[in-house]
Amino acid sequence: MLDSLDHIRKIDTRNMLQMAADMPGHLRDSNLVGRSAQIEHDDISNIVICGLGGSAIGGDMISTWLSESCRIPCDVTRSYSVPAHVGAGSLVIAVSYSGDTEETLSMVDSAFASGAEVVAVSSGGRLKAVAEERGTVHCEVPSGLVPRATVGHVFGAIVGILESAGITEATEDMEETAAVLRRIISDCGPAVGTSENPAKKLAHELHGTVPVSIGYGLSVPVARRWANQFNENAKVIAFSDELPEMNHNGIVGWVGDGRCQGYSMIFLDHDMCDAKMARRVAATKDMLRDRVRVFASTAMGRSLLAKMFSLVIVGDFTSIYAALLRGEDPSTTEPIDALKKILSKKGS
């Protein structure tokens, strides 16, 4: 089924597979947009990235990346207001692909009220209008895409903004990331048969089970991305967890509850961890193999950035193929649209 391009075209109506394959270009193009921003940076004491869903996951990855190389703390907020510590000296980066996300617009109002410097990232919408009204920087990314397929645009733009502010420099890592992504895309694209395609193989292995992605260190935000992509693309229940935290709670349920037989765990592995964590990951896999199906996807590349995105792209392709196996269009999200209508009626 996954090797029939005609079958894929009929189900994947907005060509989500191509959007995934365009990720290297998304990173490059929007990084240039972000770098062109003029950011006052003399007294930035903390960074807060505001967003929801696919617009926030890039922020999670930024926060993890910066934690390894930058002394300025970076948090991600998914709410209606910014935390109380935000104020003068805070750089708030508000991200909404559509520009009309209710919660993000509310956080922007809260950030302005706190006295923070606010930078906006969107394809237009109300967020762009607010930025223009307030005279603050707006970084515009291309419109017309499915929001969750724009993680490259979001990440690239935020990195560019931080480069403009003198907080980080990422040229070499971004170039390596793009090269790694292109190699993986050539292996995971729809024209590559299942027997040679790691994403198609994994989609078949996971079919009919509940996927649970497990991250540690740099792969924690990517694990969340995997679960979200399975939720939205494949329209299945999916979860994520992280080590070592799950060893202090979740492991008890996985070992003690017989209902876990219908679950599959995917460990998002990498070599940027110390010996203690490596032993913990191996021991956890050994303990769980008798209880659930255990799989792994291993990061590629040299830099932390390349490793994160190598895992992201495999998860994106796998979730899209999982959708196609179920006969689901990976681009649709009717329940989200229906909930927005309900909320709109309740607010009127």
Out of 133, 248, 334, 341, pick the active-site residue: 248
* Sites in the chain below the pLDDT cut of 70: 41, 347-348
Give the count of domains, the chain: 2
Alpha helix (H) residue ranges in the chain: 5-11, 16-21, 23-35, 54-67, 102-114, 125-134, 151-164, 171-188, 198-206, 220-229, 250-256, 275-288, 304-325, 334-347
Are 234 and 318 members of one domain? Answer: yes
Told to judge if 248 belongs to the known catalytic residues of this protein, a careful annotator would answer yes
Cα 211 to its chain centre, rounded Å, is: 17
CATH code of the domain containing 217: 3.40.50.10490
- Helix/strand/coil for 191: coil
Name the amino acid, one letter, at 309.
F
* pTM of structure: 0.95
Are 141 and 197 members of one domain? no
Query: What pLDDT is attached to residue 41?
Result: 67
CB environment 275-299: b (16+ within 10 A), e (fewer): eeeeebbeebbeebeebbbbbebeb
Partners of 267 in the beta sheet? 214, 296
- Asked if 340 is an active-site residue, the reply is yes
Boundaries of domain holding 152 = 36-169
Pick the catalytic residue from 103, 117, 232, 242. 232
Looking at residue 128, its pLDDT comes to: 98
Contacts of 167 (CB under 8 A, 6+ apart): 41, 44, 47, 66, 70, 72
Same domain, 161 and 224: no
